[in-house]
Amino acid sequence: MTRFHFLLVILLCVSSQLAVAQAAADKILGQYLSPKKDGKIEVYKVGETYFGKVVSGNNPRKDVNNPNPALRTRDLLGMVFLTNFTYKDGEYSNGEIYDPENGKTYSCKMWLDKGNLKVRGYIGLSILGRTETFTKIN
């Protein structure tokens, strides 16, 4: 085998590994039913970073609990509340979640469990947090 062929084989192996890893990471993309079953969210990707936004809800509301008075009149519908997640080893981490129920933002990590999305918001250590389950709908 010539040196060129050897390098070509290595390149193909590496690129196929990257494609498999990317496909695993993108399994999170799609729509989910909220834990209270009263709305839908969509997880999407920008570059290599994952986000989530509210796409529908039974009771369209405003962000009345936001600590910033200027934002209290914004609609929750369409709001990005999961931000800046990166994928590594089966987990989406280094992100944040905004909780419109109390107007606070928390550190957050996410993972898939039997096709559903587990979202854990926390302050400081993830063991000091709460996990919610979003049910995959498509």
Task: Note whether 75 and 62 are within 8 A (CB).
Answer: yes
Statement: residue 117 has pLDDT above 70: yes
Residue 125 φ/ψ, nearest 5 degrees: -95, 140
Q: For residue 1, what pLDDT is reported?
A: 59
Query: For residue range 63-83, what is the model confidence (pLDDT) as tens digits?
Result: 999 999 999 999 999 999 999
Q: Tell me the domain boundaries of the chain.
A: 29-136
Give percent of the chain above pLDDT 90: 75
Q: For residue 55, what pLDDT is reported?
A: 96
Q: Please provide the average confidence, as pLDDT, over all residues in the chain.
A: 87
What architecture does CATH give domain 29-136? Beta Barrel (2.40)
Query: For residue range 5-23, what is the model confidence (pLDDT) as tens digits?
Result: 444 444 443 444 444 445 6
